[in-house]
Amino acid sequence: MTVKSVAQEAQEILLATDMIRLGARLQVLQAETSLSYDRLARLYREVKGCSPPKGMLPFSVDWFMTWLPNIHSSMFYNVYHYLDSYTPAKKSHALVEAYRLYLEQSDAGRQRGGAEDEPVLSFTRAWMLLRFFDSGMVQLSHCVRCKGGFVAHAHDPDHDFVCAICRPPPRAGKTRSHRAQKLLV
Ligand SMILES: [Zn+2]
């Protein structure tokens, strides 16, 4: 076992603090840092002013395939993938940066829409999505019409894949699909 330096620990605390502010659950912090459960729980209370929520993480691949979550998740994942591949921000740092950008974009969409609510994609779900990619449960399929990359079930045939924006379900309605389209531009 290697001894952790103070500087290393300080960096992990900063990363954990960023993730708590963005809404990360304790299980996410445990997976992404080597800080102890007790220290993380204490940090969580300091940052949030309340105890971390208990219970299971949302574990559903299918959630990412429903219409609006799929559009939000795909936008987030494309940003994450770009940051992780082409900038110094890697893995958990790319996750934090990509999620910040996602919030900025979805906030802009919300102001236009006027509704005050939680972002469609929570930080914890964004993290779960990356785990699903890592474990090969989902893939990025490219739409034959707009060429955009979208989250899809792994091994789904994608030679004639059409995305949720190019072919919204009938219930999506005109205004909502129009707003989603603006979100991706
Ligand atoms: Zn498309």
Please report, for residues 7, 21, 52, the alpha-carbon distance to residue 14 in angstroms, rounded to integers and kept in the order given. Answer: 11, 11, 18
pLDDT of residue 185: 45
For residue 68, the CA-to-ligand 1 centroid distance in Å is 14
For residue 114, the CA-to-ligand 1 centroid distance in Å is 26
Q: Do 40 and 122 have their domain in common?
A: no
Domain assignment present for 163: yes
For residue 181, the CA-to-ligand 1 centroid distance in Å is 10
Q: Do 67 and 154 have their domain in common?
A: yes
For residue 152, the CA-to-ligand 1 centroid distance in Å is 13
For residue 144, the CA-to-ligand 1 centroid distance in Å is 7
**Domain span including residue 116:** 62-184
Domain assignment present for 53: no
For residue 126, the CA-to-ligand 1 centroid distance in Å is 21
Total domains, the chain: 2
- pLDDT, tens digit, for every residue of 104-156? 988 765 655 555 568 999 999 999 999 999 999 999 999 999 999 999 999 99
Q: Do 114 and 139 have their domain in common?
A: yes
pLDDT of residue 113: 52
Q: Do 27 and 101 have their domain in common?
A: no
For 126-151, b where at least 16 C-beta lie within 10 A, e where not — what string? bbbbbebbeeeebbebebeeeebbbb
DSSP assignment of the chain: -PPPPHHHHHHHHHHHHHHHHTT--HHHHHHH----HHHHHHHHHHHHSSPPPPSPPP--TGGGGSHHHHHHHHHHHHHHHHHHHHSS--HHHHHHHHHHHHHHHHHHHHHHH------SS-HHHHHHHHHHHHTTSEEEEEPTTT--EEEEETT---TT---TTTS--GGG-HHHHHHHHHHH-
Domain assignment present for 109: yes
Q: Do 71 and 13 have their domain in common?
A: no
For residue 61, the CA-to-ligand 1 centroid distance in Å is 21
For residue 15, the CA-to-ligand 1 centroid distance in Å is 35
| Average pLDDT score over the chain | 88
Domain assignment present for 104: yes
For residue 47, the CA-to-ligand 1 centroid distance in Å is 40
pLDDT of residue 176: 53
48 vs 4, higher pLDDT = 48
Q: Do 172 and 117 have their domain in common?
A: yes
Domain assignment present for 74: yes
Q: Do 96 and 119 have their domain in common?
A: yes
Q: Is the per-residue pLDDT at 158 higher than 70?
A: yes
The arithmetic mean of pLDDT across residues 30-50, rounded, is 96
Q: Do 44 and 83 have their domain in common?
A: no
Q: Do 91 and 167 have their domain in common?
A: yes
- pLDDT, tens digit, for every residue of 75-89? 999 999 999 999 999
For residue 165, the CA-to-ligand 1 centroid distance in Å is 6
Q: Do 40 and 80 have their domain in common?
A: no
Q: Do 161 and 110 have their domain in common?
A: yes
Give the pLDDT band (50/70/90) at residue 174: low
Domain assignment present for 55: no
Q: Do 110 and 167 have their domain in common?
A: yes
